[in-house]
Chain A
Amino acid sequence: MMNFSSIQKLDNLLLVSVPRDLVDDEVIQLRRDVLNAIRQYKSQIILLDFSRVDICDSFFGRFIYGTSQMTRLMGAKVIISGLQDAVIETMVELGMTLPDVDAVLDLDDALALSRSLRSAAVPPLAAGQDDDE
């Protein structure tokens, strides 16, 4: 069910298509794949695309939050996009407002944001040594 080629480089974005259903092991694997890809492509923005996701419980919330923290420690930034209306409603009711994580409406907005970041020419933080776990 899980498709690991769902991580694609697009401009200086890393586009991660979050699978519809996630269980524990897959979350850990997906996160590792994302971190590896950040290092490989020196991506500054990690776009977690949720358009395939129709349910987002606190476990998903932990995935988003954790990924955003790890990504920040690599000098990059997580942005989420494509949340469905019903999912957003439920997340807020659940109390999962993820104040530290930025969101955009769709891929267009994500690309625009990524280009504006690039033109601002903020040098990415130097990635550390290649110490693959």
Chain B
Amino acid sequence: MSQPPERYPLHLWIVEENHPLVAAWQARMLARRLHFSLADQTALATAVLEVARNIVRYAGRGEVIIRPYDDGVEVVARDAGPGIASVELALTDGYSTGHSLGLGLPGAKRLMSTFEIETAPGAGTLITMRKFPRAR
């Protein structure tokens, strides 16, 4: 790669509508550097896009932090938005308070190797998720 390596952890503000796309791209770049398969790169980038779009949609602004973790990638997504009243419900397929297919959070969870969420009404949302490459 011709560009100098980014310094990790990479902190990305999620404010504008196109920022989730930037975050997804950055996650993909790190995964590529770690020799993830194309499928694993795509799964990771898609999960990052889901949680980052949620930040814009529900919280207005927040942050995504991307860094290597062992042989995988760790992504932290946090915001000080309204939080989620029922995590259980939010992680249910087909449940949506917004305008999506309700696949965002449960989908991101499925696409990642680990997925943890800390949230409460009025207390913002903190998601920590990791993706490790699958054996090929």
Do the beta carbons of A90 and B46 come within 8 Å of each other?
yes
Do the beta carbons of B42 and A90 come within 8 Å of each other?
yes
Instruction: Sort chain B's interface into a size bin.
Output: 20 to 34
Q: Mark B95-111, 1 if CB is under 8 A from A, else 0.
A: 00001111110110011
Tell me the minimal C-beta distance from A3 to chain B in angstroms.
16
Tell me the minimal C-beta distance from B25 to chain A in angstroms.
9
Do the beta carbons of B103 and A95 come within 8 Å of each other?
yes
Do the beta carbons of A94 and B39 come within 8 Å of each other?
no
Given the complex, which residues of B lie within 8 Å of A62, measured CB to CB? 99-101
Docked pose: A62 CA to B94 CA in angstroms: 12
Contacts A62-B101, A94-B107 given; does A23 touch B17 at CB 8 Å: yes
Partner of A58, one of B18, B21, B38, B101: B101
Do the beta carbons of B107 and A93 come within 8 Å of each other?
yes
Which residue in chain B gives the minimum CB-CB distance to A89? B39
Do the beta carbons of A58 and B17 come within 8 Å of each other?
no
Do the beta carbons of A93 and B99 come within 8 Å of each other?
no
Question: B43 an interface residue at 8 Å Cβ cutoff?
Answer: yes
Docked pose: A59 CA to B110 CA in angstroms: 16
Tell me which residues from 82 to 105 in chain A have a Cβ below 8 Å from any Cβ of chain B.
85-87, 89-90, 93-96
Contacts A55-B45, A62-B100, A86-B42 given; does A93 touch B110 at CB 8 Å: yes
Docked pose: A47 CA to B41 CA in angstroms: 27
**What is A's interface to B at a CB cutoff of 8 Å?**
21, 23-25, 54-59, 61-62, 65, 85-87, 89-90, 93-96
